[in-house]
């Protein structure tokens, strides 16, 4: 099996590569070769045959070159994140929408070829006002450019799959927490920052009130969603190829309480409250709770508790040591 990962040098892409290297298979089939595409080089692996390719997804010729390898499974993870897509209107549409369309067009142009395409969408495709819990039947009416770009890509995935030009599965990821590494330009970044930085002995800034509620999943759950989607029998999806993934609905205050139970008051004291009206306004339009029955019926599984998410981060990213 040949696997193409668009966005392979990113956080989720890197974890997916490590998972494929550890398993050597994807849903029971041996992985012969992985092509990782991103704007930066992907680190080499010891046991996995991997090619790192750099370039611009919005370049149609680049997409054609990637598809010339005829990968059996394509994971499309690359995107300009929410805050940056909102700040740079042109860049967001060029990468998130045009890049996706060029990738799909390159697949169509390849003769006798219908790969499984796993597309990472987002809960940002939904917009307020919300019901108590959002099901897959709730309409998509995003309130950000990022959410709009993801929603359009979802429609393209549905239509291309309906016409049997590819075999697509779209997974709407919860906000991934705790994200390792440095803060990025995602507007949701503070959800991870208020856990990651204090655990590492650093100060974190909280720009919203503690009653803000959001939908979360761990990095490992995100990888599990991807690999499960790659082997899903898509006849069960019918014409609705996009699914909201399981997650945990918690408030910022509940996040902090979980951090206190795991790491103590001294770590929690490293969180500094600095209200930011712009971020608060953006977050107010985000969904808070979901009812992902379709995904659960199809075998997708999420995290047990926010405490388990924190403990996973400590074990995987901090070597079990709290600073």
184 pLDDT above the threshold of 80: no
Strand residues in the chain grouped as ranges (E): 2-6, 25-26, 29-30, 33-38, 50-54, 73-76, 116-122, 167-173, 175-176, 204-206, 213-217, 242-244, 248-251, 271-273
Q: How many CB atoms lie under 10 A from the CB of residue 226?
A: 25
Active site residues: 146
Instruction: Report whether CATH 3.90.25.10 matches the domain 187-214+248-289+304-317.
Output: yes
* Overall residue count recorded for the chain in this entry: 323
* Answer CATH for 2-174+217-244 from 3.40.50.720, 3.90.226.10, 2.60.120.480, 3.30.365.10: 3.40.50.720
- Measure the CA–CA gap between 27 and 21, rounded to whole angstroms: 13
* pLDDT tens-digit series, residues 256-295: 999 999 999 999 999 999 999 988 988 887 889 999 999 9
DSSP 98: I
Beta bridge partners of 241: none
* pLDDT tens-digit series, residues 55-90: 999 999 999 999 999 999 999 999 998 889 989 999
Measured over all CA atoms, what is the biggest interatomic distance in the chain, rounded to whole angstroms?
61
> What pTM does this model have?
0.94
- Measure the CA–CA gap between 56 and 78, rounded to whole angstroms: 11
What are the structural domain ranges in the chain?
Answer: 2-174+217-244, 187-214+248-289+304-317
* pLDDT tens-digit series, residues 145-168: 999 999 999 999 999 999 999 999
> What pLDDT does residue 283 have?
83
pLDDT greater at residue 181 or residue 245: 245
């Amino acid at each position: 099996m040949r696997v193409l990962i668009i966005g392979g040098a990113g956080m989720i892409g890197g974890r997916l590569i490590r998972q494929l290297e550890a398993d050597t298979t994807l849903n029971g089939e041996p992985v012969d070769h992985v092509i990782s595409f991103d704007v930066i080089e992907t680190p080499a692996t010891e046991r996995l045959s991997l090619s790192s390719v750099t370039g611009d997804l919005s370049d149609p010729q680049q997409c054609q070159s990637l598809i010339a390898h005829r990968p059996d499974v394509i994971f499309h993870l690359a995107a300009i994140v929410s805050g940056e897509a909102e700040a740079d209107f042109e860049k967001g549409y060029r990468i998130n929408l045009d890049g996706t369309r060029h990738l799909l067009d390159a697949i169509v142009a390849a003769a006798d070829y219908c790969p499984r395409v796993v597309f990472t969408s987002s809960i940002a495709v939904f917009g307020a006002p919300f019901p108590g819990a959002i099901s897959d039947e709730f309409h998509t009416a995003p309130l950000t450019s990022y959410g709009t770009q993801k929603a359009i890509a979802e429609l393209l995935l549905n239509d291309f799959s309906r016409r049997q030009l590819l075999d697509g599965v779209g997974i709407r990821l919860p906000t991934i927490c705790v994200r390792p590494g440095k803060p990025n330009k995602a507007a949701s970044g503070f959800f991870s920052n208020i856990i990651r930085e204090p655990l590492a002995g650093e100060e974190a800034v909280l720009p919203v009130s503690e009653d803000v509620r959001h939908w979360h999943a761990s990095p490992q759950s995100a990888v599990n969603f991807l690999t499960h989607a790659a082997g899903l029998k898509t006849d069960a999806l019918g014409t609705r190829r996009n699914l909201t993934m399981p997650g945990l609905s918690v408030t910022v205050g509940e996040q902090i309480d979980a951090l206190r139970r795991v790491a103590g008051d001294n770590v929690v004291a490293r969180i500094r409250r600095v209200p930011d009206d712009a971020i608060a306004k953006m977050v107010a339009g985000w969904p808070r709770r979901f009812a992902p029955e379709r995904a659960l019926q199809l075998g997708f599984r999420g995290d047990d508790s926010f405490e388990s998410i924190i403990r996973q981060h400590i074990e995987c990213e901090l070597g079990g040591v709290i600073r």
